[in-house]
Amino acid sequence: MHRTIIDTLSALIPLDPEVIAPLLVRPKDIKQGDFALPCFVLAKTWKLSPAECAKKLVAELKPPPSISRVESVGPYLNFFIDRSTYAKDVLTKILTAKLNIGKGQDKNETIVLDYSAPNIAKPFHVGHLRTTLIGNALHRIYRHLGYTTVAINHLGDWGTQFGFVYAGCNLWGRPQNATVDELVTLYQRANKLRKAQDQNEVPAEDTGKPNVNEIARDYFRRLEAGEPQAREFWQWCLDISLDYFKTMYDRMGINFDYYQGESFYEDKLAGVQELVRKSGILEESRGALGVDLGKPLGFARMISEDGRSLYIMRDIAAAEYRFHTFKPCKILYVVGAPQTLHFQQLVAILAKMNHPAAELIVHIPFGTVLGVSTRNATEKGQLLLKDLLDDAHARALKAYHHEVSKRPQDLDDQAVAEAVGLGAILFSYLSRSNIKDFKFDWDEALNFQGDTGPYLQYALARLHSIAAKAAEQHICYESGFDTNWLTEEEYWDIISQISRFQEVLEKTAAEYEPYLLANYLLDLARAFSGLYKKARVMGEDNAAAAVARLALFDALKYVLHTGLELLGIPPLERM
């Protein structure tokens, strides 16, 4: 309806729809209408007072059938919706689209998303979870809206950690059928011995062992030079880690189009370095080359004293490759807030190079998650994603048995616990603004009666249950439904909210904030919870009212189901 009113107004007033949209508001008092337009902005153009502008619009406006009347009250133009007509339009649209509700037409535009980025030869630490979940939600939402999306996992697959893993294998043997845990153990043992050697405190059992630093440095020199045996070892580490990472991603229902880590750009660095040199922006500082970006960005080092390309050069190579390969309208980087300066420098350097990618890059920063722990967290506080997911499963199973007394006998409790555990974590992470720090709390996250993922999943399961029981009793709306039974406030609240689904998706995408969709779904679930026991479908003597309510609940079911899927939260049909 918001869009319908905007289109109607734009035919009469000298303002673009994009200007009208934020002006059109919902009055706090329903007696003042369903939408209101303040006319102050028209006064100067029309040389009339705002109140006279409102009266002029009332006289000239030809409202669509779903608007029952338009009134001027002082400087405001108030719109009153014909609830029955509007409800019919909204519900028919959703019931026809079903799980395609809000799905946009092909926009013929591509958005590249860079997120997650764990490190090879290291475990998937929970610190990578927030970028993974935000990026996955935005990926799903943009794709649903009609964009071509390219999800890239920029793996940390090039660094000194490989030298220490290699040293560990050299000193204690290369394990057969190795796991990531074994790679990490080798890395830690080699690193511990290195520190002992540096401090001349080598334990007796390691006396006489070769110098770890020398082994690691020699290996990394050979790796950078492309020596086949060094490359084979690197690939071995990469394959083990990727198998492990993909197991974690599969468990969370997350997919990537490309796994392109730092190594992917290794053979492109010479060409990019030459491109940067030719741009004439490089300056020398303390033996290194970089770009002076002035205050507050400072001097960005790009080429080290010994001629090596530094990290920001790899990001320039990535931007260059992505721009020419995918021809995107945006390149989104979901990376923690501490990297804000890095991305500001990256954009500024590309702008100085007159590179078109400078205008396409958007850094989506996020804050810190506090209090994330499990029963298996280490003494140093390290927390692995697998431990978090396992703990979520165990806690969810316990909470499910405690909170839900009427459970279907033929249902797999373990599958439900896995979905509920994921729902608890994902919603807790996605229901806050990206940049906001927050404290994770297990009891809060798994509360079936609170503002949580399980609460949304349970509401959806109830909606599916209503639909299933109605079908058993041959209650259906396919031959028509009378929305005059849905004009009371509690029904109208839900109809008004589900009509905004497309609007919420577009706002979420425009602001890169999944919490907007998460909290919208929470409002829907709350509204349904307040209506659930009052608005009966089964056992209702008035058949027409029962059919209308079923149509409303089914429409709500499709919106809630689709919204959960777009956030990456497993939708449950039975609980």
Q: What pLDDT, on a 0 to 100 scale, did the predictor assign at position 373?
A: 58
| Residues contacting 112, CB < 8 A, separation 6+ | 149, 150, 152, 322, 326, 328, 330, 331, 332
Residues 131-139, mean pLDDT to the nearest whole number: 98
**Banded model confidence at residue 309, pLDDT cuts 50, 70, 90:** confident
DSSP helix/strand/coil, 291: strand
pLDDT at residue 424 tops 80: yes
Among 81, 106, 127, where does a domain finish?
Answer: 81
| Residues contacting 547, CB < 8 A, separation 6+ | 475, 476, 477, 481, 482
Q: What pLDDT, on a 0 to 100 scale, did the predictor assign at position 380?
A: 47
In a domain, 505, yes or no: yes
In a domain, 520, yes or no: yes
pLDDT at residue 434 tops 90: yes
Residue range 556-573, pLDDT digits in tens: 999 999 999 999 999 999
Residues 96-105, mean pLDDT to the nearest whole number: 96
Residues composing the chain = 575
Q: What pLDDT, on a 0 to 100 scale, did the predictor assign at position 375?
A: 44
Among 81, 100, 125, where does a domain finish?
Answer: 81
* Burial status of residue 324 (CB atoms within 10 A of its CB: 0-12, 13-18, 19 or more): exposed
Percent of the chain with pLDDT over 90: 74
Residues 391-411, mean pLDDT to the nearest whole number: 87
Residue range 158-170, pLDDT digits in tens: 878 899 999 999 9
Write the CATH number for 514.
Answer: 1.10.730.10
Backbone angles phi, psi at 91, to 5 degrees: -65, -40
How far apart, in whole angstroms, are the C-alpha atoms of residue 461 and residue 467? 10
pLDDT at residue 328 tops 80: yes
Q: Which residue has the higher pLDDT, 310 or 565?
A: 565
Q: What pLDDT, on a 0 to 100 scale, did the predictor assign at position 382?
A: 58
Taking the mean position of all CA atoms in its chain, how far away is CA 517? 10
Buried (b) or exposed (e) across 445-459, using 16+ Cβ within 10 A?
A: bbbbeebbbbbbbbb
**Banded model confidence at residue 107, pLDDT cuts 50, 70, 90:** very high
Q: What pLDDT, on a 0 to 100 scale, did the predictor assign at position 506?
A: 95
pLDDT at residue 292 tops 80: yes
pLDDT at residue 304 tops 90: no
How far apart, in whole angstroms, are the C-alpha atoms of residue 386 and residue 209? 34
In a domain, 483, yes or no: yes
Q: What pLDDT, on a 0 to 100 scale, did the predictor assign at position 312?
A: 93
pLDDT at residue 296 tops 50: yes
Q: What pLDDT, on a 0 to 100 scale, did the predictor assign at position 248?
A: 94
Residues 354-378, mean pLDDT to the nearest whole number: 83
Q: Which residue has the higher pLDDT, 149 or 181?
A: 149
In a domain, 494, yes or no: yes
Q: What pLDDT, on a 0 to 100 scale, did the predictor assign at position 342?
A: 96
In a domain, 114, yes or no: no
The DSSP letter of residue 295 is T
Q: What pLDDT, on a 0 to 100 scale, did the predictor assign at position 27?
A: 86
Percent of the chain with pLDDT over 70: 98
Residue range 513-559, pLDDT digits in tens: 999 999 999 999 999 999 988 999 999 999 999 999 999 999 999 99
Residue range 230-247, pLDDT digits in tens: 999 999 999 999 999 999
Take residue 188 and report the two structure tokens written for it. Answer: 């830690």
In a domain, 474, yes or no: yes
In a domain, 146, yes or no: no
Q: What pLDDT, on a 0 to 100 scale, did the predictor assign at position 449?
A: 83
How far apart, in whole angstroms, are the C-alpha atoms of residue 197 and residue 191? 10
In a domain, 14, yes or no: yes
**Per the structure, how many domains does the chain have?**
2
Residues 483-489, mean pLDDT to the nearest whole number: 92
Please tell me whether the overall predicted TM-score, pTM, comes out greater than 0.85 for this model.
yes
Q: What pLDDT, on a 0 to 100 scale, did the predictor assign at position 452?
A: 93
List the end-to-end C-alpha distance of the chain, in Å, as a whole number: 35
Measured CA distances, 219 to 171, 182, 551 (Å): 14, 19, 66
pLDDT at residue 222 tops 50: yes
Taking the mean position of all CA atoms in its chain, how far away is CA 245? 19
Among 81, 96, 126, where does a domain finish?
Answer: 81
**Banded model confidence at residue 378, pLDDT cuts 50, 70, 90:** very low
Q: What is the mean pLDDT of the chain?
A: 92
pLDDT at residue 370 tops 90: no
Take residue 438 and report the two structure tokens written for it. Answer: 């927050």
Residue range 55-98, pLDDT digits in tens: 999 999 988 888 999 999 999 999 999 999 999 999 999 999 99
Residues 183-205, mean pLDDT to the nearest whole number: 92
Domain that holds residue 422: 385-567
Write the CATH number for 13.
Answer: 3.30.1360.70
Q: Which residues pair with 332 in a beta bridge?
A: 113, 362
Residue range 124-133, pLDDT digits in tens: 888 899 999 9
pLDDT at residue 196 tops 80: yes
pLDDT at residue 419 tops 90: yes
